[in-house]
Amino acid sequence: MKNCLFLILIFCFGNVFCQEPHQKEALQIEELLEKNNPNLYKTIQRDGNFLVLDNYRNHKRRRYYVGDKLGFKTKNGQFFQEELSEIGDSTLTIMHYNNVERKLETWNIKVSDIKKVYRHEVYKGIKWGLGWGSLAAFLPLVYDWVQFGQSPTQNSEALIMIPAIQAGLIILNNRSKFFNGIKLSDNKQLKVFKSL
């Protein structure tokens, strides 16, 4: 038994310390950037512009490059959720499909005309969240029944909590819809920067 243990230790020791050095060469910064963020790489290569959404309260910054999808609302109430085709000094260009005329249109929009920017993709409708998570609304009834022996039909306080818990689950399932927009103000600004 001791001999087997000794042989295993020698074998492990030999495998750990007798390995050849790592032969793979490290990738250059440009290659890593092209692999991980191709839109940023293209912007840097052609000295292009990019959009920056600054939040001065929490000092966070989001960047949008040509080819990224941007959802925003203009001051006159138009909503767009398209890929950025071009970013100029004070304008951005998007390709928008017109469903009425069934054609692709080019829109030039001034950055100063944008009122609200959306963090995530905006979808229509509400996710109701009917699934295993919606069974959590019945937990107060089950708890009172198991712990105190109170019948679910006689438990009026827990019956009041069921709609409140279900409303909370709906808000949790739709948090990316309800808490999505960033309204531009003095503390939150959208600016155009040029890569050098």
pLDDT band at 45 (very low <50, low <70, confident <90, very high): confident
Residue 122, pLDDT score: 81
User: pLDDT tens, 142-194?
Assistant: 888 888 888 877 777 777 777 787 788 788 778 777 788 889 999 999 999 98
Q: Which amino acid is at 28?
A: Q
Residue 53, pLDDT score: 93
Residue ranges with strand state E in 76-184:
79-87, 91-98, 103-110, 114-118, 181-183
Closest CA to 51 of 35, 38, 33, 39: 39
| Concatenated DSSP letters of 38-76 | HHHHHHHHTT-EEEEEEETTTTEEEEE-TT-EEEEEETT
Average confidence (pLDDT) over 59-77? 92
pTM of the full predicted structure? 0.67
The 79-87 sheet, strands edge to edge:
103-110, 91-98, 79-87, 69-74, 114-118, 181-183
Residue 12, pLDDT score: 62
Average confidence (pLDDT) over 96-124? 89
Residue 103, pLDDT score: 92
User: pLDDT tens, 69-96?
Assistant: 999 999 999 999 999 999 998 999 999 8
**Euclidean distance between CA atoms 86 and 39, whole angstroms:** 12
Residue 129, pLDDT score: 63
Angle between helices 38-45 and 29-36 (to 10 degrees): 130
pLDDT band at 50 (very low <50, low <70, confident <90, very high): very high
User: Where do the domains of the chain lie?
Assistant: 29-122+180-194, 132-173
Q: 98, 88 in Cβ contact below 8 A?
A: no
Average pLDDT, the chain: 82
Tokens of 50: 């990019």
